[in-house]
Amino acid sequence: MLLALISQEPRSGYEIRKILVTTPMAHYSDSPGSIYPALKRMEKRGLVRSEEESVGQRKRQRYACTRKGNSALKQWLIKPVNRADVMYNLDELLLRFAFMQALSRRETLAFLADLEQHLERHVIELKKFFAGVKKAMPITGRLAMESGIESYEATLRWARRAKKELASV
């Protein structure tokens, strides 16, 4: 996510932190103890390059994406969708999707097709599992499972709609 934000335009740690508190990405930690060390690690790995600016006495480090950083970002974006990610990291998949403006329509649609397919299978298996155990479950457990299944179904409906919408643009 940091790479994606920096690749949109060069940004400082503080600007990134502000984005993290003022947008729905608030989900992710904006603590200085996570952001600043992460930026330094990325710089050490050659993914970003920092330039020191000075306004009066005040200094700020603005980070820009390197060629290597851009290609790492692209690899992350086009990484094939797998079952495990759909089950455990759906949030990350949607985050990736949010940053796909730089990808081709074809690549973005391929991602959505994969996502749809894995979601479909996952919902089917969840329902199969649920059918086998629901009679033995306490009511709160049963309802919680239904909530999980319905969330996946909502995302599945969204994926289908997103595919149509993107294809028609």
Partner DNA sequence: TATATCATGTAATGCGTTACATGATTTA
Partner DNA sequence: TAAATCATGTAACGCATTACATGATATA
Other C-beta atoms lying within 10 Å of the C-beta of residue 31: 9
User: What does the angle CA 34 – CA 35 – CA 38 come to, to the nearest 5 degrees?
Assistant: 85
User: Which residue ranges make up the site for DNA (CB under 7 A)?
Assistant: 12-15, 17-18, 29, 31-34, 36-41, 55-62
Total residues interacting with a copy of itself, rule: CB under 8 A: 37
Residue 31 binds which of a copy of itself, DNA, none (CB < 5-8 A, kind-dependent): DNA
27-86 residues near a copy of itself, rule: CB under 8 A: 27
Q: Which is nearer to a copy of itself, 131 or 169 (CB)?
A: 169
Question: Which of 105, 117, 104, 99 lies closest to 160 in space, CA to CA?
Answer: 117
Answer yes or no whether residue 95 interacts with a copy of itself by CB under 8 A: yes
In the region spanning residues 104 to 163, those forming contacts with a copy of itself, defined by CB under 8 A, are 108, 126, 129, 138-141, 143-148, 150-151, 153-155, 157-158, 162
Q: What share of the chain is helix, strand, coil (3-state, %, to 5)?
A: 75, 10, 15
- DSSP character at residue 135: G
